[in-house]
Amino acid sequence: MTGIAALACANTVATLQQDGGAPEAITDVPSLPPDTPSPGGVAAVVPALGFLIVLMADGRVFCRGANTTGECGVGVLTSVPTFAQVPLPQRALQVTAGTRHVCALLEDRSVACWGSMTPTGFEGPPEIRSTPVVIGGLTGVVRVEAGAFSACALGSEGEVSCWGHNYAGQLGDGTRNASERPVRVTLSARAVALDAGGNLACVLQSDRRVQCWGSLMEPTAIVGEDPTRPGILPVPFAVVDLSVGHGGLCLRDDAGVVHCRGYLAAHNALEFSPAPRPSAVSALSVGQYFTCARLEDATVSCWGYNGTGMLGGDGLVVHGVGGFRDAVSVHAGAGGACMVRRGGTLWCWGRSPGLTTLSPVLVAAP
């Protein structure tokens, strides 16, 4: 969920869907994992830059926190101190947030966004949208991911389209021209997974290779010479999952080992190196200069920068955050992180609206 320029928010995502199956196929409306919260509970959370988005298991979306550019999507441009429901036209399957904008994948496989991607991102004035707007030209979407001031959508045929800011080549169309409308990214194979964060976007392709475009807070392209065009990452392992955040990119291999690159503590900015872990990783979430992972034993580990307690404990590596062994998902953000536990309860740590804590605390669901 992190943002562009300096210290924006890291790309973050929450979803009702389970990423699963062979990378050669995109499953339409995947089934929920056995430990997904029952209807009425929290399904996932987006701890963004100054605001918190919560996706409920029944598809409703709520927000609280900073709202000066309509980040909460509730029709006002003032702070939202308690959770308010976002007026979406239909049930949401997934939500993702950039620095000042939020996008939701809707039940009919269209995408609605709100907030600000200034100076572009929405067709026509105004630049700030305080309520959700359906993005034209997108159908059959299976995933949407927000960069700092951009967004990308993965279609059911493996195609990827992006829109918004493009000063770092984050739209992947060979230019640095911003676009209000989604533009197609030319890939070498069909994409089966997508993530974006800051000025970077990456896909896992059906050939198990990873292509990225834009910048990982580096002066040059993350791969190749041209950041405006997708390039294949030269990694010596089979990739099954990826996560992109502000200043960091992590890949999970088929043995459950995580390899990270970028400005994450204990990791070289230009080369991939294994991340600390006590057991195999089942899911990843890269935040702003830190990473959290759900392990196969349903515990959570976090590592990296810990300036606001976003690792859930002392030090640069924290295993078994909160002592919990029933995490359904974990979501790293700008200054903090959250986990959803079995039963649909929401626990957060670090810094987020109304919260500054070194260890996880229960957040009252909407």
Domain assignments of the chain as residue spans, ordered by start: 12-22+36-363
pTM beyond 0.75: yes
Give the mean model confidence (pLDDT) for residues 243-268.
82
CATH class of the domain at 12-22+36-363: mainly beta
pLDDT of residue 29: 28
**CA 296/CA 122 separation, integer angstroms:** 40
Q: Are 77 and 68 in contact (CB under 8 A)?
A: yes
At 245, is the secondary structure helix, strand, or coil?
A: strand
The helix (run of H) or strand (run of E) holding residue 204 is strand 199-205
pLDDT tens digits, 49-97: 899 999 999 999 999 999 999 999 999 999 999 999 999 999 999 999 9
| Nearest alpha carbon to residue 258 among 315, 302, 224, 311 | 302
What distance in Å separates the CA atoms of residue 28 and residue 26, rounded to the nearest whole number? Answer: 6
* Cα 86 from Cα 250, distance rounded (Å): 31
Instruction: Give the separation between CA 141 and CA 122, rounded to whole angstroms.
Output: 18
Under a CB-based contact definition with an 8 Å cutoff, are residues 119 and 179 in contact?
no
Q: How many other CB atoms are there within 10 angstroms of residue 28's CB atom? A: 9
What pLDDT is recorded for position 23? 34
| pLDDT of 32 | 33
Q: Which pLDDT value is given to residue 299?
A: 96
